Amino acid sequence: EIVLTQSPGSLSLSPGERATLSCRASQSVRFSYLAWYQQKPGQAPRLLIYGASTRATGIPDRFSGSGSGTDFTLTISRLEPEDFAVYYCQQYGSSPSTTFGQGTRLEIK
Amino acid sequence: QVQLVQSGPEVRKPGASVMVSCKASGYNFPSYGISWIRQAPGQGLEWMGWISGSGNTNHEQKFQGRVTMTTDTSTSTAYMELRSLRSDDTAVYYCARFGMGWFDPWGQGTLVTVSS
């Protein structure tokens, strides 16, 4: 099983700042099959990025994903108030199974 | 628009079973699979398994023998039954559409509470 470790566990930033979230895999993720999700309190997760760097439909371009192999990054270029949430990465390169990271909580400073 | 609507909250006693439904709309149901993911209170996301559009299933080993996933293509509805419930099965259970490996969209979630 591929274990995903997200860092930091929590991050305190101010609106307008840049956020950089990391997701590290215990072994190489085939074909960069990695997705990122955003979850706000009381809501279901929402897909942001798939294939490591492709934004999902309707996702603002301030969200970007990068990386390959075992190291992946989600960057939010200029934080908006609605971006403060928990972010999860997911690898699907070991299909048919899949795993999630433990999440990074992005908080308002 | 593509939408998944799940059944309402459930309360069960330890040892009982629960079935959660997930009704899809806005797309050709047999062309995609449905995955089930759960989230214990204050915890992260845990993948449980999936059922393909053709009815093939795969689930996480820890749920072996306790979970059954089915679909009814006539009503575009997926079902997840979890048996022999324990207190640590208390969680929000989500269904999500999947095709190429990622999950989009997700249902609104169903809270299952296991308590004596």
Determine the pLDDT at residue B100. Answer: 87
Q: Distance from A83 to chain B by nearest Cα, in Å?
A: 18
**Contacts of B37 by beta carbon, 8 Å cutoff, 6+ apart:** A100, B45, B46, B47, B48, B93, B94, B95, B96, B103, B106
- Cβ pair B94, B39 in contact under 8 A: yes
A97 pLDDT band, cuts 50/70/90, is confident
- Nearest CB among B45, B101, B106 relative to A100 is that of B45
| Number of other residues whose CB lies within 10 A of the CB of residue B85 | 21
Closest-CA residue of chain A to B106: A44
Determine the pLDDT at residue B54. Answer: 86
Q: Is A90 close to B103, i.e. CB distance below 8 A?
A: yes
Determine the pLDDT at residue A18. Answer: 97
A41 touches chain B (CB under 8 A): no
Name the one residue in this structure whose structure tokens are 């795969």: B58
Determine the pLDDT at residue A94. Answer: 83
Mean pLDDT over A67-74 rounds to 97
* pLDDT tens digit sequence for A22-37: 999 999 999 999 999 9
Q: Is B44 close to A46, i.e. CB distance below 8 A?
A: no
* Residue B4: both structure tokens together: 């998944």
Determine the pLDDT at residue B45. Answer: 97
**Does the pLDDT at position A100 exceed 90?**
yes
| Number of other residues whose CB lies within 10 A of the CB of residue A100 | 22
> How far apart, in whole angstroms, are the C-alpha atoms of residue A22 and residue A16?
19
Determine the pLDDT at residue A35. Answer: 97
* pLDDT tens digit sequence for B45-57: 999 999 998 889 9
Please name the helix (run of DSSP H) or strand (run of DSSP E) that holds residue B49, with its range, or none.
Answer: strand B46-51
Q: Is B104 close to A47, i.e. CB distance below 8 A?
A: yes
Residues above pLDDT 70, as percent of chain A: 100
Name the one residue in this structure whose structure tokens are 């709309």: B25
- Nearest CB among A92, A99, A101 relative to B102 is that of A92
Whole-number mean pLDDT of chain A? 96
Determine the pLDDT at residue B99. Answer: 81
Closest-CA residue of chain A to B57: A96
In chain A, which residues have their Cβ closer than 8 Å to the Cβ of B60? 97
Q: Which residues pair with B47 in a beta bridge?
A: B37
* pLDDT tens digit sequence for B15-51: 999 999 999 999 999 999 999 999 999 999 999 999 9
Say whether B29 sits in a helix, a strand or coil: helix
Determine the pLDDT at residue B87. Answer: 97
Q: Would you tell me which residues 44-63 of chain B have a C-beta closer than 8 angstroms to some C-beta of chain A?
A: 44-47, 50, 58, 60
**Does the pLDDT at position A93 exceed 90?**
no
Whole-number mean pLDDT of chain B? 96
The pair phi, psi for residue A94, each rounded to 5°, is: -100, 30
Q: Is B44 close to A44, i.e. CB distance below 8 A?
A: no
> How far apart, in whole angstroms, are the C-alpha atoms of residue A33 and residue A93?
5
**Does the pLDDT at position A83 exceed 90?**
yes
Length of chain B: 116
